[in-house]
Structure 1
Amino acid sequence: MDTRAAGTFEDTFLDQSATILEAIRIIDHASLQIALVIDKDRHLKGTVTDGDIRRGIINGIKLEDCVEKVMNRTPVTITPETSREESLSLMTAKKIHQLPIVDKDGKVTGLAQLDVLLKRSTPIYEDQEDVRVILMLGGEGARLLPLTKETPKPMLSIGDKPLLETIIGNFSVQGFKNFYFSVNYKADIIEQYFGDGSRFGVNISYLYEKTRMGTAGALSLLPEVPQGSLIIMNGDILTNSNFCHLVNFHRQNKALATMCVREYEQQIPYGIVTANGMTLQSITEKPSHSYFVNAGIYVVDPDVLGFVPKDQYFDMPQLFDELQKAGKESSVFPIREYWLDIGRHEDLEQARTDYRKIFG
């Protein structure tokens, strides 16, 4: 059986000399979630997925580097003669969603896609019905006074709608429909606007914090232990991150908890002097240092809830510390998409400017 996605697989082709940034453009815009690295004769040299790139970023790879630094040089492939049933069985066993089709000469002739083989009208990365999204919305937004005196920070307007509406819209279009809103400060304003979520095509339940409980403490308020993973996100983040990729990354790494991180570059505005005693060795003029910082977005499995104390203030970094002490596996997921933490007035102005370009 011919398993090709007719007329589309060539959009994934990438030259061996291309950069990782070029691979990102193909993965994001070709809608096939993979780049096929080929030579001038269309021989398959490797594949690149979103996960390959994010793992590379964590290991210090730069977007300007050659794609060969992150590509999988021994990808699983099939032949033009491979049946639909064999392709599906292989995808299920390997937990992958695409298989390059390669002829006896090693040339790419197509790309089998799980969604096409299953005759899905829209791509589905994994079953998201059992994933719950918990948005932490209880903060007072003190650094944004006087704007937050009467309006909770997630309800501040960015574009033509509250920030929180943009957040749930981004989740919803990716298939995430089930939400918990953890609320405290000005909770009535949030609840009156969003209600049960039906007006926005989602399901919303509320966790009421009687006192501030931090970014993890409210997890103890869940009415029951969920069956699937939980995405936890601070309610003051504007991002167009691919949450499907995040959940897939978490599952593939078999971690109990995953923390999203963002690369942050800090430039020292002075020349750095290295000396051995009183002897000058070198001067480095205004060096830059890169760090990964907590991005305020997490995925956790239900077992993590056993580490959250009842009715106490508890932050997500504390939770990850407890998991580390217990020898539990945690992973980090670098965000390469647009991301902005709206904590200060200048951040809010930046978000309003960026919104028109990124989300407009």
Structure 2
Amino acid sequence: MDNWKKLIIEPEENIRSAMQLMDEVRSKLLLVCINNKFKSVLSIGDIQRAILSNHSLDAEISSILRNQIIIASDQDNEEDVRNLMLQHRIEAMPVVDEEQNVIDVIFWDQIFSEKKGMVNTLPDIPVVIMAGGKGTRLKPITNIIPKPLIPLGDKPVLEWIIDSFNEVGVRNFHLTVNYKQDMIRSYFANQPKRDYSINYFEENKPLGTAGSLHLLKGKLKETFFVTNCDILIKDDYSEMLKYHKSNGNELTAVSAVKHFKIPYGTLEFGENGVLEKLKEKPEYNFFINAGMYILEPHLLEEIPEDEFFHITTLIEKIMERNGKVGIFPVSEGSWMDIGQWDEYNKTSQKLGYPGINL
């Protein structure tokens, strides 16, 4: 099969284009080639490290390529390739001949029955899911069921979130609940095959995106994840945690790259309407707040008790006292939102399910 040819990118392409191609072909790894001659591989980790090192999204990928990579020769037997991939947890292994022509790419799921992500990379890390909101932007369905139980295919969005962490070893979940919480409790009480525990913390009134975290004071003694219940992020959680700890962050916010195209020419003018700059259909990139965070446990002491409090306020407080807040970037396609109907339908279709027409 020649599916691997979709992964080819030229070294003069920029980082933004590489991220867009990864999203398009749903791969975290690309082959960098010149006229089909193999040059290197480019992973989402390479891009994330480049962004964190302050590379522009307009920088050529040739400037961020690794010098040492692992590839297979067309003379290697299948067992050698298998062992190499298993040892280094390689998602896709390029096979190159003596003249550096790419002749094949062997993917993990071709030779292994287990998913690549099925390894305990996050054992014993608590995950807090903020599941108490009313989901007003998803009415009228949320008049009947709570937002966390809105289905994506054959299971609710909350279960998608839990499963994405459970697959990498997380067994300890904390849910802050309020609106229609009995339905959430009942749903998971009737899932007998689950191999994880859920602890519920009830807020007696809406407390914002972080106010209910005060309920966990004294309960969490280690670094933990916090996520909204209306987003899915398909990325390497262990890399997020590694970045958070290695940089000594108190809080790390996951940020998705968002690309906007203005379909019109724009005008910039000064005093008396004198035209100063004309841009034809400009494009802009922003790093948006994706709704997932990593926090150190001492921050729970800074959450006011039983008060409406947003996590952005906590971030501002940390920065005001010169604490360290970090940003971990993910691609636009790795971040999926179900917080409003148009985004819900996009996410459903991306996961292979029909949307909902209201």
TM-score by length of 1: 0.70
2:260 is matched with which residue?
A: 266
2:336 is matched with which residue?
A: 340
2:278 is matched with which residue?
A: 283
2:318 is matched with which residue?
A: 323
Q: 2:187 aligns with which of 193, 198, 202?
A: 193
Aligned pairs for 1:27-106 (under 5 A) are: 50-57=44-51, 59=54, 61-62=56-57, 66-71=60-65
2:222 is matched with which residue?
A: 228
- Equivalent residue of 1:130, what SS? coil
**TM-aligned CA deviation for residue 70 of structure 1:** 2.4
Aligned pairs for 1:292-331 (under 5 A) are: 292-331=287-326
1:215 is matched with which residue?
A: 209
- Equivalent residue of 2:206, what SS? coil
Q: 1:178 aligns with which of 154, 163, 172?
A: 172
Is the aligned partner of 1:356 residue 2:352? Answer: yes
Q: Which amino acid aligns with 1:224?
A: G
**TM-aligned CA deviation for residue 241 of structure 1:** 2.5
**CA distance in 1: counterparts of 2:141 and 2:10, whole angstroms:** 51
**TM-aligned CA deviation for residue 271 of structure 1:** 2.3
Aligned residues: 300
- Equivalent residue of 1:340, what SS? strand
- Equivalent residue of 1:274, what SS? strand
Asked if the contact 1:154–1:163 (Cα under 8 Å) also holds between the matched residues in 2, the reply is: yes
**CA distance in 1: counterparts of 2:118 and 2:154, whole angstroms:** 29
**TM-aligned CA deviation for residue 263 of structure 1:** 1.6
**CA distance in 1: counterparts of 2:164 and 2:269, whole angstroms:** 52
Q: Which amino acid aligns with 2:171?
A: K
Structure 1: gaps (5+ residues): 1-13, 76-95, 99-120
Decide whether aligned partners of structure 1 residues 240 and 276 sit closer, same or farther in structure 2, where only a CA change above 3 A counts. Answer: closer
TM-score by length of 2: 0.70
Q: Which amino acid aligns with 1:332?
A: I
Is the aligned partner of 1:143 residue 2:137? Answer: yes
Kindly, what percent of the aligned residue pairs are identical? 28
Q: 2:233 aligns with which of 231, 234, 239?
A: 239
**CA distance in 1: counterparts of 2:285 and 2:223, whole angstroms:** 31
Decide whether aligned partners of structure 1 residues 274 and 67 sit closer, same or farther in structure 2, where only a CA change above 3 A counts. Answer: closer
Structure 2: gaps (5+ residues): 1-7, 70-87, 91-114, 354-358
Q: Which amino acid aligns with 1:341?
A: D
